[in-house]
Structure 1
């Protein structure tokens, strides 16, 4: 009995994954991150509930006008939208990444064939989806209960879009970067939460920005949240209110430049400081 063999086909290098395959990997990782987020009741309540609770409390207590045709409620809601965007990106990532690192989740991810960028893409998708949901909830509550006027022009909505996009990008990158400062899972909140709270108080969220001490305004101007708040005020407040800003206008060009700079700073910090393992793991 004789056997025949077929000639072996030439071995060729594996083709790089198609764009659709890469997109599919990112989307699947994003769905996984979203499911994990929703399973954590504490994260959902804090991330989505905190801005809503603050709006309900402050907007119900303070109803005076801070400028002709501008109520404190309108001013405060714009700040809380910016705060919400910072919470779902900077604060959420800065707290949860150390937990995953401490539990060895990141170490296991690094040991799999999955490209490292897929993990980051999943985090970004989770942040984007959560940001949209949080913003929609804030706007719905504010319009229904506190008569917030939504933007009436395409230009205003476009401004809302790019301010939110740049702000979330900068805060996401900074959240990933600051996660490396936490030595253990428990210290993540201790590292990130005080920073977020201080920025809220000095960036014109709870108080009219121009009423703050000048040194406090100068410190706030170094960080993204102040510029996110200012950009969103240009969207939701009358154009005349720009004269009450420190620069005499909403300074949207400067808002874009500062937020873009922070995107670059955040990216550099991520590339130079991010760790997949704890210090004890080496």
Structure 2
């Protein structure tokens, strides 16, 4: 067996073990499945979902569905993944992995596999609930389903690499929620996930367009909406080429930056640093 095959097989075994533990821990499973977001989607859909967006005639529930699909990707990759990396760094998991041949690579394969499975399950959950409970429109053609798949594939790759880079830079899991959650919620508001992007001022649109969330949401909308609704987007079209281009840029940037940051973080992990963190944690709880 080649080195790469061994890393992949061992990483997948690690992912299977992590998923088994996850399924047995109901509180963590509830968080990972983002059931609170699904409940919020249903409430929004029931309260104002039938109201049309502007003069388009398109119900707002479709805007919510597209936004929550993008949120499902971002929450698993840019929020939960970095916090898991920070936690594993603090409790010594990364340090132990560094002491095993190809341990860090195996660890990352396992973590990323869990992230990808989480994304697939959460996106499917949002779409199924939206279709069955809210009667929201789904992709109506093979081309629309293909668009949804490539947008989600590129979005997940870009966001996972971004999440890995963020996780390597977080000072710790305790601070991580504030460092990541607040900017993510801000991006949600300005990226057209719950409020039409056309209502944002031009400067806000320019800022949001730098980040992948705006393009994720627009790409998902292009798969869910009728083709005529493209006229109500900012550019008057779905901008598929621009969507693919921006997401690919983030994939490339993430592929270059994330491995370097993770390598630097793992090199800095030492037994003395782990012991200092444990002492600090003990002082916080008064032990």
- 1:53 counterpart = 2:39: yes
The counterpart of 2:57, out of the listed 59, 69, 87, is 69
**Number of matched pairs:** 267
> Compared with structure 1, are the counterparts of its residues 40 and 101 closer, same or farther at alpha carbon in structure 2 (3 Å cutoff)?
farther
- Are the counterparts in 1 of residues 94 and 104 from structure 2 also a CA contact under 8 Å? no
Shift of residue 39, structure 1, vs aligned partner: 4.6
Q: Which residue of 2 aligns with 1:281?
A: 273
- Once the two structures are superposed, what CA deviation does each residue of 1:130-188 show, in whole Å capped at 9, x if it has no partner? 11111111111101111112212221111111100110111111111111232222111
Structure label with greater radius of gyration: 1
| Deviations 1:49-68, CA, capped at 9 Å, x for gaps | 13202201211221310143
Query: Are the structure 2 counterparts of residues 278 and 204 from structure 1 closer, same or farther at C-alpha, using a change threshold of 3 Å?
Result: farther
SS at match of 1:151: coil
1:182 to 148, 170, 176: 170
Please say if 1:102 is aligned against 2:90. Answer: yes
Instruction: Find the counterpart in structure 1 of residue 183 from structure 2.
Output: 195
CA-based RMSD: 2.0
Query: Structure 1 residue 22: deviation in Å?
Result: 4.3
TM-score (norm 1): 0.88
Of 146, 152, 170 in structure 2, the residue corresponding to residue 164 of structure 1 is 152
More deviation, 36-45/47-56: 36-45
Aligned partners of 1:152 and 1:218: how far apart in 2?
Answer: 31
Kindly report which structure 2 residues correspond to 1:258-269, keeping only aligned pairs within 5 A, or say none. 258-269=246-257
3-state DSSP of counterpart to 1:220: helix
Give how far 1:88 is off: 1.0
TM-score by length of 2: 0.87
* More helix as a share of residues: 2
The offset of 1:18, in angstroms, is 7.5
Question: Helix, strand or coil: the match of 1:65?
Answer: coil
- Report if the CA contact (8 A) 1:230-1:250 is conserved: yes
What SS does the aligned partner of 1:246 have?
coil
Equivalent position of 2:106 in the other structure: 118
Shift of 1:115: 4.2
What is the aligned partner in structure 2 of residue 254 from structure 1? 242
Tell me if structure 2 keeps the 8 A contact 1:96–1:188: no
Q: Report the Cα offset of residue 36 of structure 1.
A: 4.1
**Post-superposition shift, 1:269?**
2.0
CA distance in 2: counterparts of 1:244 and 1:18, whole angstroms: 48
**Deviations 1:15-57 (Å, cap 9, x if unpaired)?**
74474x4442232022123234445544432332132022012
Q: Does 1:136 pair with 2:124? A: yes
Distance in 1, matches of 2:195 and 2:130, equals: 18
Counterpart of 1:27 in structure 2 is 12
